[in-house]
Structure 1
């Protein structure tokens, strides 16, 4: 058994939260059954010729042999590396438990049923969503700040316990049956709906269909269709522009990488990030190394689709 804890890595409090989840999980499944990125890849001290690539290789090696995954996702700006890992696991039939303590919900118009995350595709690929969205009970702490801290910690611990239990009771992984593949799936940006990406792919002579959940009357049903269509495509072209790769694009990139589909990441205005000892990354390293081509122009995209 191997359980993967997917969480944001770039600040100490995020890593501490991931470690807390791993501790709860290890107490029930055994420490050797739990993989905690950054900790178990020894990222702080790892030395490699291309460190980001080596970290990607170590993480995907684990992703290819999972029993289950628990992923921490909070707030409207979701970590693109975590979303990529969720898509990768889900495409392999691995049950994914999403854990959140966010009290916000999302819907297109305020009248229809809401979903838990800004992109409904997350709920389509998750086996279970565990939502601990209310503070814990009042405590007898000596001052109001300590009491408030205790209530938040209680909320977190309750959610973690529920998430770990859901993960351990999930079914065994079941790899989906292979499907016939044709054409190109285009994941446009929720931030720039008409970037010309779909038209460029079609003008190059490739049969193409685009994700529809951002414009559909029923976004949740459309998200199911987007996931199914992406699985039957030969290639994925995804607009990864934004502060981080949009969560749905990151999920589809992870899924395409797991299925060995060609991935073209379109990003006309890249911003590079830097971390000690790593090469500069034009996106989260899980996105960067899952992509076969980083395209900065539409011409790059169409050229990259030529076999």
Structure 2
């Protein structure tokens, strides 16, 4: 089963996901492609706790994948998609990240650039497909400049879809079937994923150490070489018994979302730090304090250091 992960919350995002899924289905077969929202019948689904039910359905699909195409654009990456990337990668499922964004990122003017706002994305992605320029106008291009511009964008999307489909099929064929997950748990070790945007609460490590944990804190956000540091963060997080992740912001920061996904796939404990929030609402769904994939994966929400101690005692 191939999975197309994309932002769900606007028609153009869902249309882009369907566009890629249709082209993947033409190569792999319609029954071999899963498209969220479409295939969970999200708009019409009725359940006592709809958000949790959607999480359960999505997680069941993620457990049995052959490959994933994940669509990421812009400086604010979709936290649900990043969570799904982390989940799939922790299970050794090849992930192709596709983008038509023309921006890249760096920590300073002349330092090494990376592909996405958090270098952890490119560390875990098996392949990145970046098609960052408009397509070439075809013969007989329209004299209407807006129609011509739309056609060039459509050509860009066609190229991105074709390349990402080719990549995920190639990687899935090369991936060993039933590959084992080699991430043994380091008992008594905790990983802290602070926000890249704000200071980490200084009391977190002390609270974890008081409970008997050794602690590693993510270093890539302030490291001279963020990509190399991201590799170390990924290794340390995969082997930790517990994850404490700062999920503050309009959306969960992409690295935190990715690590929440990976830790969930490995059946380990997660606490999501979110001192304040704005609830989101959708028709037929309970209010959510974070993207529902993050909310139900994390399970526990903490607001201060006292909550950390209480959570560890559970």
Classify the TM-score, shorter chain.
over 0.9
The residue that corresponds to 1:71 in the other structure is 70
Cα 1:54–1:180 shift into 2, 3 Å: closer
Gaps of 5+ in 2: none
Q: Once the 2 structures are TM-superposed, how far is the Cα of residue 108 of structure 1 from its aligned partner?
A: 1.2
Which residue of structure 1 aligns with residue 301 of structure 2? 294
Provide Cα deviations, 1:196-252, integer angstroms capped at 9, x if missing partner. 233443354422110000011110000000000001110000000001000000000
| 256-265 vs 290-299, which moves further | 290-299
Q: Distance in 2 between matches of 1:258 and 1:135?
A: 37
Q: Is the 8 A contact 2:5 2:70 kept in 1?
A: yes
Of residues 239, 262, 268 in structure 2, which corresponds to 1:261?
268
Q: CA separation in 2, counterparts of 1:205 and 1:172? A: 39
Cα shift at 1:110: 2.7
Q: Deviations over 1:241-273 (max 9, x none)?
A: 001000000000000000001010010012210
Please list, as runs of the form range in 1=range in 2, the aligned pairs for 1:1-307 lying within 5 A after superposition: 2-139=1-138, 140-170=141-171, 171-172=174-175, 174-182=179-187, 183-196=189-202, 197-307=204-314
The structural deviation recorded for 1:115 is 1.0
Structure 1 window deviating more from structure 2 (132-141 vs 3-12): it is 132-141
| SS class of match (2:106) | coil
What is the CA–CA distance in structure 2 between the aligned matches of 1:273 and 1:198, rounded to whole Å? 31
The secondary structure found in structure 2 opposite 1:252 is: helix
Contact 1:181/1:234, CA 8 A, preserved across alignment: yes
Q: How many angstroms apart in 2 are the aligned matches of 1:14 and 1:175? A: 33
TM-score when normalising by structure 2 = 0.95
Matched position secondary structure for 2:245? strand
C-alpha RMSD over aligned residues: 1.2
Q: Deviations over 1:41-98 (max 9, x none)?
A: 0001101000000000101001000000000000000000000000000000000000
Q: Give me the whole-angstrom Cα distance separating, in 2, the residues matched to 1:178 and 1:209.
A: 16
Secondary structure in 1 matching 2:236 = helix
* 1:108-146 Cα deviation digits (max 9, x unpaired): 113233111000000011000000000011341131111
Aligned length: 306
Cα offset for 1:298?
Answer: 1.8
Partners of 1:272 and 1:100 in 2: CA distance: 29
Q: Partners of 2:150 and 2:245 in 1: how far apart? A: 40
Q: More strand by proportion, 1 or 2?
A: 2
